[in-house]
Amino acid sequence: MKVIFFSAKSYDREFFEAENRAYGFDLSFIDTDLSLETVLLAKEADAVCAFVNDTLDAQILGSLAESGVRSIALRCAGFNNVDLAAAKRLGIRVGRVPAYSPYAVAEHAVALILALNRKVHRAYNRVRESNFSLEGLMGFDLHGTTVGVIGTGKIGQIFVGIMKGFGCEVLAYDPYPSEKAASLGAKYVSLEELYQRSSIVSLHCPLSPESHHMIDEAAIEKMQDGVMLINTSRGALVDTAALIQGLKLRKIGHVGLDVYEEEADLFFEDLSTQVMQDDIFARLTTFPNVIVTGHQAFLTSNALRNIAQTTLGNLKAFADGAECPNELSV
């Protein structure tokens, strides 16, 4: 089976080629994303492997079907970029990787908290310039701090366990509370109480019409002065304009983001020689108390190995005409 990978990076190639020794598929990797302009590159392929910012709308799926593509393997969990109804109509099977390493994402959220609190990003730059002044570098003990966790699914539960390990009091909000999170020591409260009592708020819930911009001006207003906000879930959970206002008013003390609502035009590419066109993002990066990483929370060797194994397993099931537990249906 010939599989073409769109938006492929060096780490995709490394892990997929290693895992493919067990499958023997014919893999080819291109770094451009899948769009109307690039869809013809798949004309020799039986299957397409795509990532979060590849477009799989009805028109592109139609073109893929005409070229003989019969399956799509998403090497990610989210599938909001795929027109599943069109895929079904065209007889294209679609699979995804529902979970690859919740530890990777939970641990990255903790990395952001520690770096922001102890100003590691600022200290790193200072020491490189032989500036050993400690002015402005004061943090606080995590031990005894109250942390609010919004969303206690796979990632949120691991985050709860880590923060309990630091000796934090952990408050949680989830419309479907988890026994596991409670047994790890999270105390379920209303969203209102979580905002009022937490010094750190970390988002671990999916983006949906209900959760879109859940962190807006009104939510920020309810939070503690100097709150630290961490978002490793999806950018549009946060109204970035309201976030910037909260930072300017010093209502928000620290922000750690691995996701950004307009990230599709920025993340995963080296734009260092270009002029930044997104003024809101540009403003965000001027704050000394904000750290933004470019959607890298998933990026551990463990997660990449799991992604490659599951994706190739999905493709094997599709090639064999077998059932696939990770297949998406409308």
Active site residues per annotation: 234, 263, 295
Nearer to ligand NAI, 64 or 160 (CB): 160
Is residue 201 near ligand NAI by the rule CB under 6 A? no
Site for ligand NAI in 63-122 (CB under 6 A): 77, 99, 102, 105
Tokens encoding 236: 């549009």
Angle between helix 120-128 and 102-117 (nearest 10): 60
Total residues in contact with ligand NAI, by rule CB under 6 A: 28
Tokens encoding 284: 């965000």
What stretches of the chain show up as alpha helix (H) in DSSP? 10-19, 58-67, 84-90, 102-117, 120-128, 154-165, 179-183, 191-197, 217-222, 240-248, 279-284, 301-320
CA–CA distance, 119 with 294 (Å, rounded to integer)? 19
Is residue 162 near ligand NAI by the rule CB under 6 A? no
Which residue's Cβ has the minimum distance to ligand NAI?
A: 153
CA–CA distance, 55 with 80 (Å, rounded to integer)? 10
| The binder of ligand NAI chosen from 50, 142, 155, 219 (CB under 6 A) | 155
| The binder of ligand NAI chosen from 7, 199, 224, 233 (CB under 6 A) | 233
CA–CA distance, 28 with 266 (Å, rounded to integer)? 25
Is residue 150 near ligand NAI by the rule CB under 6 A? yes
Is residue 297 near ligand NAI by the rule CB under 6 A? yes
Of the candidate spans 20-28, 44-52, 63-71, 173-181, the one that interacts with ligand NAI by CB under 6 A turns out to be 173-181
Residues lying near ligand NAI in the complex (CB under 6 A): 77, 99, 102, 105, 150-156, 173-176, 204-206, 210-211, 232-234, 258-259, 295, 297-298
